[in-house]
């Protein structure tokens, strides 16, 4: 091991703490601002220390919303975001794992073309097909619905690839053993393959949940009703009004609430998160 002499080690510690400070500072400011009086912030006299309005501001944010015309409690937006994120994460995992199962464990006509059709969606992110997709969702009467929020994002080439790769590493003996036990394809999938895939599914879920919670462009387009807004869309609408009317403590409280679930997931499930991130990028 190359030993670092004392001085260099202090430099490393110092640089890392500076990095952490840079990374954390904007969030610190948001937390501080969410506990202060709006008038003070609007005058440009915000204090860098927490104020005394924490409960007041968060109560208003979660249960009432801004005082302006687009009054929508952020609690409801969080619920919408949660439903969308769960639908996207669970939906992607569910449809990917069964298509990977079909592609690996069966031989049927058009097997490879179907695989490629799924694979190529990697190159069709929602940004390059926004308006035509919008039109289809509108024609299917799915605007302002959870189905409309989730379905067009639910296909996943990455998840399908990941499960395919994993299934390829599962020993053939397992299938033969369960066949001897009289298990059919569905039984084998449910009793053997699914339990084996648990860690992969969990790692994928962590990443997909964050991805789903943080969706922005698509919900922005297809939600017009305020009560269907997700929190990411809601926060932007709060700063639409002219600057003087923006209620910054509420905006910052919303920002903090929007960060809380995904950041919690990353910190609490760090191992799964890192694993999922590295695997989905391969």
- The residue with tokens 């190159």 is 123
Q: Is 95 left (phi over 0), alpha (psi -120 to 50) or beta?
A: alpha
- How many angstroms separate the CA atoms of 50 and 35, rounded? 6
- Among residues 204 and 235, whose Cβ is nearest to another protein? 235
- Among residues 28 and 59, whose Cβ is nearest to another protein? 28
Q: What is the phi/psi pair of residue 128, to 5°?
A: -90, 0
> What's the min distance (Å) between Cβ of 108 and another protein?
5
- Residues 178-210: b if buried by 16+ CB within 10 A, e if exposed: beeeebeeeebbeebbeeebeebbebbbbbbbb
- Among residues 187 and 225, whose Cβ is nearest to another protein? 187
- How many angstroms separate the CA atoms of 204 and 261, rounded? 16
> What's the min distance (Å) between Cβ of 194 and another protein?
13
Record the tokens describing residue 105, joined without a space: 């464990």
- Among residues 55 and 116, whose Cβ is nearest to another protein? 116
Record the tokens describing residue 53, joined without a space: 């309005």
> What's the min distance (Å) between Cβ of 20 and another protein?
5
> What's the min distance (Å) between Cβ of 154 and another protein?
6
Record the tokens describing residue 153, joined without a space: 């994002």
> What's the min distance (Å) between Cβ of 54 and another protein?
18
């Amino acid at each position: 091991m190359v030993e670092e002499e004392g001085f260099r080690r202090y430099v490393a510690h110092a640089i890392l703490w500076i990095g952490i400070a840079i990374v954390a500072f904007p969030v610190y400011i948001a937390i501080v601002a969410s506990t202060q009086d709006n008038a003070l912030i609007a005058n440009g006299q915000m204090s860098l220390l927490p104020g005394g309005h924490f409960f007041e501001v968060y109560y208003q944010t979660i249960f009432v919303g801004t005082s302006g015309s687009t009054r929508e409690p952020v609690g409801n937006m969080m619920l919408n975001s949660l439903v969308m994120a769960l639908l996207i994460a669970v939906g992607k995992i569910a449809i990917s794992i069964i298509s990977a199962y079909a592609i690996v464990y069966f031989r049927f006509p058009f097997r490879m073309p179907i695989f490629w059709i799924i694979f190529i969606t990697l190159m069709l992110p929602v940004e390059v097909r926004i308006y035509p997709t919008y039109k289809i969702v509108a024609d299917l009467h799915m605007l302002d619905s959870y189905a409309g929020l989730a379905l067009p994002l639910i296909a996943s080439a990455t998840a399908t690839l990941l499960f395919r790769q994993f299934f390829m590493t599962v020993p053939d003996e397992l299938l033969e053993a369960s066949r001897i036990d009289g298990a059919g394809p569905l039984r084998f999938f449910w009793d053997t393959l699914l339990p084996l895939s648990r860690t992969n599914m969990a790692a994928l879920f962590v990443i997909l949940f964050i991805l789903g919670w943080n969706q922005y462009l698509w919900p922005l387009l297809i939600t017009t009703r305020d009560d269907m807004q997700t929190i990411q869309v809601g926060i932007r609408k709060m700063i639409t009004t002219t600057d003087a009317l923006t209620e910054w403590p509420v905006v910052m409280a919303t920002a903090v609430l929007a960060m809380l679930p995904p950041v919690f997931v990353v910190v609490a499930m760090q191992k799964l998160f890192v694993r999922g991130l590295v695997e989905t990028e391969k």
